[in-house]
């Protein structure tokens, strides 16, 4: 699969101004996302959590793809109405495949 995103690792770093975070990635490093934190404490915590999630995205996608490729994710699908329709593991496999498709633009 060809990568359509800036490859990791990405990291969250403090911006030059107070209350600003950048999600940076290689190769330059380039700023992927700039997040301004609210004066509101709860809003700031949520935006920091969002920045960490965004920074982890390449590694999360890579892990899901590898789990599927190495057989950790069942082949059968709950969407296809197979015998394992109600199996939690098969539903999880469908969620993993949907997340990969969404991240790679195949959805």
**pLDDT tens for residues 25-79?**
887 778 878 888 767 777 778 888 888 899 899 999 999 999 988 988 877 666 6
Distance CA 37, CA 40 (A): 8
Q: Is 105 left (phi over 0), alpha (psi -120 to 50) or beta?
A: left
Question: Do 7 and 54 fall within a single domain?
Answer: yes
Question: Do 17 and 43 fall within a single domain?
Answer: yes
Span 11-20, average pLDDT: 83
| Cis amide bond preceding 29, omega within 30 | yes
In a domain, 65, yes or no: no
pLDDT greater than 80 at residue 83:
no
In a domain, 66, yes or no: no
Question: Do 1 and 53 fall within a single domain?
Answer: yes
Stated pTM of the model: 0.73
In a domain, 1, yes or no: yes
In a domain, 22, yes or no: yes
Overall number of domains in the chain: 2
In a domain, 107, yes or no: yes
Domain that residue 43 falls in = 1-58
- pLDDT at res. 84: 56
Helices assigned H by DSSP within 20-107: 41-69, 88-104
């Amino acid at each position: 699969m060809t990568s359509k995103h800036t490859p990791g690792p990405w990291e969250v770093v403090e911006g030059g101004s107070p209350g600003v975070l950048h999600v940076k990635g290689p190769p330059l490093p380039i700023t992927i996302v700039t997040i301004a934190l609210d004066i509101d404490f709860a809003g700031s915590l949520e935006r920091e959590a969002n920045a960490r999630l965004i920074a982890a995205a390449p590694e999360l996608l890579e892990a899901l793809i590898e789990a599927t490729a190495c057989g950790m994710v069942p082949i059968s699908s709950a969407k296809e109405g197979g015998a394992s329709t109600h199996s939690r593991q098969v539903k999880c496999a469908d969620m993993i495949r949907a997340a990969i498709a969404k991240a790679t633009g195949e959805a």
